[in-house]
Amino acid sequence: MRNYEAIMRERTVRVFALLNELIEALPVPLNHRELLQRHLEVVRELAEARPDMSAVRIPLLVHAAVTGDEELAFPVAAACTCIYLGADLFDSLVDNELPPSWRTCDPAEVNLAAATLLGALPQFSIARLREQGTPPAKLWALSYLFAETVLTMGAGQHEDLLFPTLENVSLEDGRAMAERKSGAEYALYAKAGAALATEESSTVEAYAAFGSCFGVAKQLVNDVWDIWGEDVSRDLLNGRRTLPIVYALSGLRGERRERLQKLLVAARESTEHHDEVRSLLAAAGSVRYTALIVWLYQQQARKHLDAASPQEPAGQEFRILLDETLLPPHTEEVRPSD
């Protein structure tokens, strides 16, 4: 069997070539197309350097797992990649993390590009399925699925922005936000590939549930990496209330809680407070708790994947995908064994 990385790189090249073709054909002014191509190029370079984008990989794998072939699912993978690109651009704008190529642009231009990537471009990609003989009813169902998912993701994003202004955010609130923001996105990746491949509702829902659990696990791993994996935490600078922080605030009382709250405010102004925040979070058990929740979502993802009964070799690649979702090395000792 060919090397997984070579296969993933081929998929990535094809999907981004299709997206560029779609953008070139859009009935919009040249400078609008150039905005879209700007972000496409930024992410394409990153994706080809490390070709494991879930938006590309998961829809193709699901289709292959059901039918034995991924070829017909490339327009769906391109549509899913549009969702990723748009959400990524909005996140970068909100978090003040725009790539250098965007920093000379007006924020309104960034918003325009992100809205086009999220709203219009996926529909143009789905429309390509008509050339493959996809029935109109299935095209409509896929279009509705994408629209519904963007609304759910938007609700999760709104909660993510709202949480820092609230006095209390429960653990249930934190997990629900992750399920709406990231779980819905990854559920779309899997469900769209399955819905194109089969009419069997139980199979489609099994893959959707797998995607949701995998997406939340991946988001929580990213949350841990952001705080403990780098010298500078963007989430602390942006005041995000990710699950490790919500857990500590939910469990601490009195002076310790007040100390953490003050440090979280200070951490938005200066990175010199980040190490002390990390120490307080770790002492409160945040790493251990988040590792446990990640493990639980991973186990649920495995359960839903087993229920879907994927064909090989796609099933094996899914298992590799789950194994690749790792916490920072120093948290490994708190993960339950599989």
Q: What is the pLDDT of residue 262?
A: 96
Secondary structure in 3-state letters for the chain = CCCHHHHHHHHHHHHHHHHHHHHHCCCCCHHHHHHHHHHHHHHHHHHHHCCCCHHHHHHHHHHHHHHCCCHHHHHHHHHHHHHHHHHHHHHHHHCCCCCHHHCCCCHHHHHHHHHHHHHCHHHHHHHHHHHHCCCHHHHHHHHHHHHHHHHHHHHHHHHHHHHHHCCCCCHHHHHHHHHHHHHHHHHHHHHHHHHHHCCCHHHHHHHHHHHHHHHHHHHHHHHHHHHHCCCCCHHHHCCCCCHHHHHHHHHCCHHHHHHHHHHHHHHCCCHHHHHHHHHHHHHCCHHHHHHHHHHHHHHHHHHHHHHHCCCCCHHHHHHHHHHCCCCCHHHHHHCCCC
Give dist(CA 198, CA 84) in Å, integer: 24
| Whether 70 contacts 64, CB under 8 Å | yes
Nearest to 291 by CA among 220, 189, 200: 220
| Whether 217 contacts 301, CB under 8 Å | yes
Query: Is the model more confident about 18 or about 2?
Result: 18
**Residue 82, token pair as written in the block:** 């549009």
pLDDT per position as a tens digit, 136-152: 999 999 999 999 999 99
| Predicted confidence (pLDDT) at residue 336 exceeds the cutoff of 50 | no
pLDDT per position as a tens digit, 163-221: 999 888 999 999 999 999 999 999 999 999 999 999 999 999 999 999 999 999 999 99
Is residue 330 very low, low, confident or very high in pLDDT (cuts 50, 70, 90)?
Answer: low
Sorted by where each begins, the domain ranges of the chain are: 4-334
Nearest to 72 by CA among 147, 130, 26, 124: 130
Which residues does 244 contact at the CB level (< 8 Å), separation at least 6?
223, 224, 227, 281, 286, 287, 289, 290
| Predicted confidence (pLDDT) at residue 270 exceeds the cutoff of 80 | yes
| Predicted confidence (pLDDT) at residue 4 exceeds the cutoff of 90 | no
Query: Is the model more confident about 247 or about 3?
Result: 247
Q: What is the pLDDT of residue 205?
A: 98
Query: Is the model more confident about 17 or about 323?
Result: 17
CA distances from 262 to 108, 166, 241 (A): 34, 14, 14
Which residues does 78 contact at the CB level (< 8 Å), separation at least 6?
15, 18, 19, 22, 125, 128
Is residue 24 very low, low, confident or very high in pLDDT (cuts 50, 70, 90)?
Answer: very high
Q: What is the pLDDT of residue 335?
A: 42
Mean pLDDT of 86-93: 94
What is the pLDDT of the chain when averaged over all its residues? Answer: 93
Mean pLDDT of 114-139: 96
| Predicted confidence (pLDDT) at residue 320 exceeds the cutoff of 50 | yes
Per CATH, the number for 4-334 is 1.10.600.10
Range with the poorest average pLDDT among 27-36, 76-85, 92-101: 92-101
Q: What is the pLDDT of residue 167?
A: 84
Is residue 332 very low, low, confident or very high in pLDDT (cuts 50, 70, 90)?
Answer: very low
Query: Is the model more confident about 3 or about 266?
Result: 266
Mean pLDDT of 322-338: 59
| Predicted confidence (pLDDT) at residue 337 exceeds the cutoff of 60 | no
pTM of the complete model:
0.94
Residue type, 123: Q
Which residues does 46 contact at the CB level (< 8 Å), separation at least 6?
none
- What percentage of the chain carries pLDDT values higher than 70? 96
Collect contacts of 229-232 with beta carbons under 8 A, ≥24 apart.
Answer: 229/328, 231/271, 231/274, 232/271, 232/274
Mean pLDDT of 75-83: 98
Is residue 35 very low, low, confident or very high in pLDDT (cuts 50, 70, 90)?
Answer: very high
